[in-house]
Amino acid sequence: MNQIEISIIINRWFNNVKSQVTEKSAKNTTFTFTSCSVSLSVMQIYCSASGFLLDNNYKLPAVALLRVISEFFIKFLWCMNTNNEKETKERMYRWEKTTANLKLKLLDNLISSQKLKTSDVDKLKKQKIKVEKDAINNPHKAMPNVTGNGSIFEQISNVFGADVSALLYGQLCTAVHVDSSVLCELINNMQGAFIIRDDIDEDINQLKKNCLNLAYMFFMILNRKISIDIVTIKKEYENVIGLLNNSVKKEKT
């Protein structure tokens, strides 16, 4: 099963959907349709890049990309998880507001540093002026936290099931925030001798499933919001996932 290149499969799916979106674009100019169209390109480049890394057995960087994709996916799903066009638009603006607030916090911390050169600080101040302007011009409040009471997770858990949080977000954090725990995972003690592994000890087929799941769930959202045809994609998805499941079972026995 490792012979199957999921990056090729993923790109084929996205190109299929892109052609459908292009055909619909002349007749549909709603905010929701435009948001879905733009998000399509973001999801394709990240999912296919993660798939390419997995096809070439680079697990740790692939998982880092999956973590980025999962956060984007979760926030996008929150924005789209309403049948009210006005509410969808407001949620997208709240997402922008949250991003602006985070950028301002980062810029303030950097500008207050005593270690940067004056020329670097001046560049950061110019960036801050633009971000501040964007934040001021956006009257909406920030989006909810991703986790915790009243969080995005709580609001979207009924869409794909409560386990979506554990599958797509929490378990992938260490790949982005590499720390000593990740370093320890790379060490095997074999009869008193240390053997350093080249990569994290994760099943490659399970990671491929996660990547394919993200792509397919994204298509399911688009199908609900802008009525794309995913019948062919669904058949191939179920077939590939079935083969990957069999591979995972064989490796565990």
The better pLDDT of the pair 77, 152 is held by 77
pLDDT tens column, 80-110: 999 999 999 999 999 999 999 999 999 999 9
Instruction: Give, in order, the Cα–Cα distances in Å from 225 to each of 21, 35, 81, 233.
Output: 12, 10, 9, 17
Please say whether the beta carbons of 95 and 71 come within 8 A: no
Helices 204-226 and 231-252: crossing angle in degrees, nearest 10, is 160
The residues spanned by each domain of the chain are 6-252
Distance CA 159, CA 77 (A): 9
Average pLDDT over residues 234-253: 82
pLDDT tens column, 136-156: 988 899 998 877 777 887 778
Average pLDDT, the chain: 84
Q: What is the pTM of this model?
A: 0.84
